[in-house]
Amino acid sequence: MSRWWWAGALAAAALIALGGWLGEPGQALRNASDVCLACMGIG
Amino acid sequence: MRHLVQVLASVAQNAYLAFPWTRTLYQGPAKRFCSPVSNCHSCPAAVLSCPLGTLQHFLASVRPAVRWGTYRLGFSIVGFLLAVGLVGGRFACGWLCPFGLLQELLHKIPSPVWRIPKALRRLPFAALAGLVVLLPLILVNRLGYGEPWFCRLVCPPGTLEASGLFLVIPELRDQLGPSFAWKAGVLTLFLGWAVVSFRPYCQTLCPLGALYGLFNRGSLLRVEHDPARCRDCGACGQGCRVGLDPRRDSGSPSCLRCFECATRHCPNGALAVRLGPHTFTAPCAPPSTRAS
């Protein structure tokens, strides 16, 4: 694995941890649990 | 084997089969997490979030998130997409995507074959930059909220899968308008096109595939060419359904990582699937031709 790959993996882990700490999974749950009118072509 | 994995992955991502009775979307804890592929979270059976939809939702609410100090800017989804790309490149496209499977099934209908011009393969990058990232960030209402423009204007998997809700919430049908007609037209175009071309949505529009494709060259899982074994017969290039020559292009962003070049087409064992330091030689390569 190249240095770039390891840097990317480290960045991915840090971003996921930061998002989790900020409560993004809960926000994602709320977003995904609403009927998305855009997805359905309404509006 | 690959089709079996595709079917299982499609079922696993859409496993909430109680929706005809509950008449609602799945709202359980699994939806905190994203699927690695485009699987609309407004599909009533979907148990995971859609990464494209989730990314657009976060980008569309960047300004309010900063104003209110929550700073939920989509870090986790960016990290997740980065991780999926680093591990497999477009592996998720080739093996896990339900809409990819549907297109492949349509392509089995006997018909003339039309190979998609290479120039059209740049369009997914435009869709990623324009509809997924820039427009949700830039076009905002008075409160600072943007829209998920890719979902609103084009997303064919979303149109197909979210339409399942019309079956369980018939009242929504009364709200259909020109926007739905446009999206249904786009969906019909790609489904019809899939009969004559191999996975046209994946090759000409899918922003998620474009993103994962950027990692194809350096991902953990990849195809490796061994020039010492290669007899330059060209069977791999003739068999590649996205028109690549795996001897040179195995790291191309267009490669869907189906691995059929290594497992089905190369008669000499010159193409192998690699996962980090581990190499998996083609199981179907005739043993007599493997060593040269």
Kindly report, residue by residue over B200-215, the tens digit of the pLDDT. Answer: 999 999 999 999 999 9
Tokens of B65: 């998130």
Q: How far is CA B208 from the centre of its chain?
A: 6
Distance in angstroms (rounded) separating the CA atoms of residues B74 and B49: 13
Q: Give how far A3 is from chain B: nearest CA, Å.
A: 11
Count of A-B CB contacts under 8 Å: 153
CA atoms within 13 A on the CB side of B234: 2
State whether A14 and B79 contact (CB < 8 Å). Answer: yes
Check pLDDT > 90 for residue A37: no
With beta carbons under 8 A apart, name residues in chain B contacting A18: 75-76, 79
Domain boundaries, chain B: 2-213, 221-289
- Mean pLDDT over each residue of chain B, to the nearest integer: 90
Mean pLDDT over B164-174 rounds to 77
3-state DSSP assignment of residue B121: helix
Residue B24: count of CB within 10 angstroms of its CB: 15
Type and span of the H or E element at B274: strand B271-275
Instruction: Please state, for a pLDDT cut of 90, what percent of chain B lies above it.
Output: 77
**How does residue B42 score in pLDDT terms, banded at 50, 70 and 90?**
confident
Highest mean pLDDT among A15-19, A32-36, B277-281: A15-19
State whether A24 and B58 contact (CB < 8 Å). Answer: yes
Mean pLDDT over B70-77 rounds to 94
The whole-model pTM stands at 0.91
Which residue, among B40, B52, B75, would best test binding to A if mutated, counting the most A CBs under 10 Å from its CB?
B75
**How does residue B289 score in pLDDT terms, banded at 50, 70 and 90?**
very low
Which residue, among B23, B42, B48, would best test binding to A if mutated, counting the most A CBs under 10 Å from its CB?
B42
List B274's β-bridge partners, or say none.
B222, B279
State whether B31 and A33 contact (CB < 8 Å). Answer: yes
State whether B163 and A28 contact (CB < 8 Å). Answer: no
Mean pLDDT over B95-124 rounds to 94
